[in-house]
Amino acid sequence: MIYEGKKKIWAEYQKEIPEDHYFYVRSCIRQSFFPASEATFLDITRNKLGKDIFETEHHTTCGGIAYHSDAIPQETAMTIIARQFALMHKYGYENYVCSCITSFGLYCETLETWREYPELQQKIAENLWKTCHLEFAKPKFLVHASDLIFKYRMQIAAKSKFKLVNKNTGEPLRVVEHIGCHYSKMFPSKGVGGAEYPYVLVGMVEAWGGQIIDYPERRHCCGFGFRQYLIKGNRG
């Protein structure tokens, strides 16, 4: 009975991740500082797993850094996002995959705001048509790139040449992880494990032979904060 109860509770922390046919948008930060990470992600999903993952050179930044730094208003950021979704629709996709966790958080915020305020959604749709002549559309599924790796972690493990183990002793490597706030805390139901039990990275490590080590700061914010960091006048 206790086990069944735990399974029911844990089920509430899961999310539905589509099987295939993804529209992918890169991260302005990730592709600048860690370009190999996105190249590796695409190699795994396309070449190793054989998934249909499409990207277009016409997509742009989501505007998240400018929005979170108070440099542009929310409606401007929403119109930028609506354009991204419209490109997805234009190319015949409905499963939206983003590389950046700040984008992921902003997309979640935008979709939830449109759901709560349909009149604002209509205004953004009008702005989109006036500025870009694109048809408004929303994704059926919104997932982060790490969600896909998590979903296929066992298939990746079966294909991998190396495991997360000490080659001399055979013991699991001890691993620590840290989840970005914009993935797990803004809208906990949108991430695997939520804010309380984030499991997306843990699931990968365990599937590949490693051992997760818990530590007090595991679920703490890193302190970046955008407004107080990027705007000098706010740093106090």
Tell me how crowded residue 107 is: count the other CB atoms within 10 A of its CB.
26
What digits encode the pLDDT tens for the residues 104-154? 999 999 999 999 999 999 999 999 999 999 999 999 999 999 999 999 999
Would you call 172 exposed, middle or buried from its count of C-beta atoms within 10 A (0-12, 13-18, 19+)?
middle
**d(Cα 62, Cα 30) in Å, to the nearest integer?**
13
Per-residue pLDDT of 181-193, as tens digits, reads 888 888 888 888 8
- Measured between its terminal Cα atoms, the distance across the chain in Å is 52
Reference 188, options 105, 116, 98, 96; nearest CA is 105
Domain spans in the chain, listed from the N-terminal domain onward: 18-147
Q: Which residues pair with 211 in a beta bridge?
A: 174
Q: Does domain 18-147 sit in CATH 1.20.1530.20?
A: no
Global confidence as pTM: 0.89
